Chains A and B, each alone.
Chain A
Amino acid sequence: DAKTTQPTSMDCAEGRAANLPCNHSTISGNEYVYWYRQIHSQGPQYIIHGLKNNETNEMASLIITEDRKSSTLILPHATLRDTAVYYCIVRPNRDDKIIFGKGTRLHILP
């Protein structure tokens, strides 16, 4: 029973902002939204997480809607190295497990 829904794949032009949507309409009050990515043949890599406020770090920005039922990961200036599968995950902050879905395959086009 998937907790998140993401598009299977997306394209983005190099240098443009990549906006990756995630639907989590059944999110609970104590659940955070996490994003990981997996570059081909590598292990997943943590990107960012948030509860209800928008978050930004050196890799990306996370925009969470006011009702918390959806969010968007933003890569502000996509490069070819951002080509990867991006996973949106919801989990309580003190839960010891991460359950991955199938993610969005992002293609950055030169």
Chain B
Amino acid sequence: EAQVTQNPRYLITVTGKKLTVTCSQNMNHEYMSWYRQDPGLGLRQIYYSMNVEVTDKGDVPEGYKVSRKEKRNFPLILESPSPNQTSLYFCASSRLVAGVPYEQYFGPGTRLTVT
């Protein structure tokens, strides 16, 4: 089954404790991306990757890191989480058509709470 998986689905942590949210896709997609969803703000892109070893900042990259060492995986790293990073996070992947990520497939989401 074609899918994007994220782990963990729920996470409660404390300020400053490093954490990683994993994302994996089994569709051989070139493009992967991370979004955060907050009430009243919709979805905002954090980072995206057009291919292995190619990553770029989205609209709200501060406080986050990513890596793309393998095509299927795109982990999101919070080196020193803060309460304003409490949010619902989605990973997505897509094939590229003429450089455009059509038909993004989204993971189920990770609800992160930073106290």
Question: Are A and B part of the same complex?
Answer: no
Which B residues are closer than 8 A to A by beta carbons?
none
